């Protein structure tokens, strides 16, 4: 099983700041199958980034993803108030198994 470790667990930032979230895999992940989600309290997760760097439909361009192999990042170029949420990375492997990272909580400073 591929384990995804996100860092940090929590980040306290202010609107307008730039932030980079990290997702590290225990073994190499195909970039095609690395995904990021955003989850707000009481709501289902929302798809943000797929294929490590492609934005999902309707996602603002302040969100970007990058990385390859075992190291992936999600960057928000300029935080808006609605961006404060929990972010999860997720991978899919060739044995048809999916795993999620433990999540990074982005909170308002």
Partner 1 sequence: EVQLVESGGGLVQPGESLRLSCAASGFTFSTYWMSWVRQAPGKGLEWVANIKQAGVDKFHVDSVKGRFTISRDNAKNSLFLQMNSLRDEDTAVYYCVRGGRNGTFDYWGQGTLVTVSS
Tokens of 8: 């940090």
Which among 96, 95, 86 is positioned nearest to 46, based on CA atoms? Answer: 86
User: Contact region for partner 1 (CB under 8 A) — 16-24, 31-39, 67-75, 77-85?
Assistant: 31-39
- How far is Cα 108 from Cα 81, in angstroms, rounded to an integer? 8
Residue 59's contacts (CB-CB under 8 Å, 6 or more residues apart) are 48, 49
Smallest gap from Cβ 11 to partner 1, in A, equals 16
Smallest gap from Cβ 102 to partner 1, in A, equals 5
Residue 86's contacts (CB-CB under 8 Å, 6 or more residues apart) are 38, 39, 40, 103, 104, 105, 106
For residue 14, state whether it binds partner 1 (rule: CB under 8 A).
Answer: no
For residue 33, state whether it binds partner 1 (rule: CB under 8 A).
Answer: yes
Binders of partner 1 in range 68-107 (CB under 8 A): 88, 90-92, 96-103
Per DSSP, 77 falls in state: S
**Based on CB atoms, which residue is closest to partner 1, 15 or 54?**
54
Give me the residues that bind partner 1 (CB under 8 A), please. 1, 32-33, 35, 37, 39, 44-47, 50-51, 56, 88, 90-92, 96-103
């Amino acid at each position: 099983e591929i384990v995804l470790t996100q860092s940090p667990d929590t980040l306290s930032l202010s609107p307008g700041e730039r932030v980079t979230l990290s997702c590290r895999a225990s073994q190499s992940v195909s970039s095609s199958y690395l995904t990021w989600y955003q989850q707000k309290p009481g709501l289902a997760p929302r798809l943000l980034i797929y294929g490590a760097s492609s934005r999902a439909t309707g996602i603002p361009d302040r969100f970007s993803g990058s990385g390859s192999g075992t190291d992936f990042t999600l960057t928000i170029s300029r935080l808006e108030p609605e961006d404060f949420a929990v972010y999860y990375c997720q991978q899919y492997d060739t044995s048809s198994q999916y795993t999620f990272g433990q999540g990074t909580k982005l909170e308002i400073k």
